[in-house]
Amino acid sequence: MQEVKIKQIDEKKISQYIIKYTMEDWMNIVDSDVVIVGAGPSGMTAGYYLAKAGKRVVVFERRLSFGGGIGGGAMNFHKVVIESPAEEILKEIGVRMTEVESGVFIVDTAEFMAKLGAAAVDAGVKILHGVTVDDVIFREDPLRVAGVAVEWTSTQMSGLHVDPLFVSAKAVLDATGHDAEIISVASRKLPELNVQIPGEKSAYSEIAEELVVVNSGKVAEGLYSSGMATAEVRGLPRMGPIFGAMLLSGRKVAEDILRDIR
């Protein structure tokens, strides 16, 4: 067997490197162009297009994984359905698909998550895991959302009273899925934003997909929704394990944000 000579590193140097480079990243992250909350399909797609256009984008994800609802597929089956024209996006990032009828594709959930995450990271998106966003920052004259408050997910789970850190941004995207957590907290704490939340309706996949895409976009100045957060905020039906609209709504909201923060 070939001898393998492994470089030896002192424990304190391991710590020093991690701390130094983490803090360097955070010094930039606290002043981002766009904060995206949630590394699900719509959030990562939005991040991919925003970073490709040169914006400084951070995604805060509560969990230690990418993909949000992709991994669970439908009832844990490892396939989801994608419909035209969303396959354009998957082709662009190299996801293999089987066309099961004209304009309808089936994909593997693990490949979908891994390649979407890799595409976003390669485009320049910073994805931070284990971070929960629990509030927004706002400014008056004109009234707008100007960033978010972040906390470690583990701190939140512990129930300890720890104040968050703040991250400023020109745009905040709520890509948190069915609960629209960021828009919900903003509408509750800032009634002057005048955002009502009718709540998501039961399933009607045929119409829900298009409705989610066209309704994704600005909710208030500086605050945007994509994916299932849009269904919650606009009172639209759910659609289950068909994911075309998640990708297309991410692309659509990225285009809207690029127009607004140019």
Binding site members: 42, 61-62, 69, 133, 161-163, 178, 228, 238
- Taking the C-alpha atoms of residue 128 and residue 114, their distance in angstroms, rounded to an integer, is 15
Residue 37 near residue 151 (C-beta atoms within 8 A): no
Instruction: Indicate the residue among 33 and 61 with the shorter CB distance to ligand 48F.
Output: 61
Q: Does 37 bind ligand 48F (CB under 6 A)?
A: yes
DSSP string, 139-200: ETTTTEEEEEEEEEHHHHHHT-----EEEEEEEEEE--GGG-HHHHHHHHH-GGG-------
Instruction: Indicate the residue among 59 and 220 with the shorter CB distance to ligand 48F.
Output: 59
Contact partners, residue 222, CB within 8 Å, separation at least 6: 144, 145, 146, 169, 170, 171, 172
Show contacts with ligand 48F in window 178-237 (CB under 6 A): 181, 227-229
CB of 221 to ligand 48F, least distance (A): 21
Q: Which residues are annotated as a binding site for Fe cation?
A: 163, 178
Show contacts with ligand 48F in window 40-59 (CB under 6 A): 40-43
Instruction: Indicate the residue among 56 and 63 with the shorter CB distance to ligand 48F.
Output: 63
CB of 131 to ligand 48F, least distance (A): 6
For the beta carbon of residue 27, count every other beta carbon within 10 angstroms. 9
- Judged by CB under 6 A, which of 29, 82, 127, 175 binds ligand 48F? 175
Q: Does 62 bind ligand 48F (CB under 6 A)?
A: yes
Number of alpha carbons in the 13 Å side-chain half-sphere of residue 80: 30
Q: List residues binding ligand 48F (CB under 6 A).
A: 37-43, 60-63, 68-70, 132-133, 175-177, 181, 227-229, 238-240, 242-243, 246
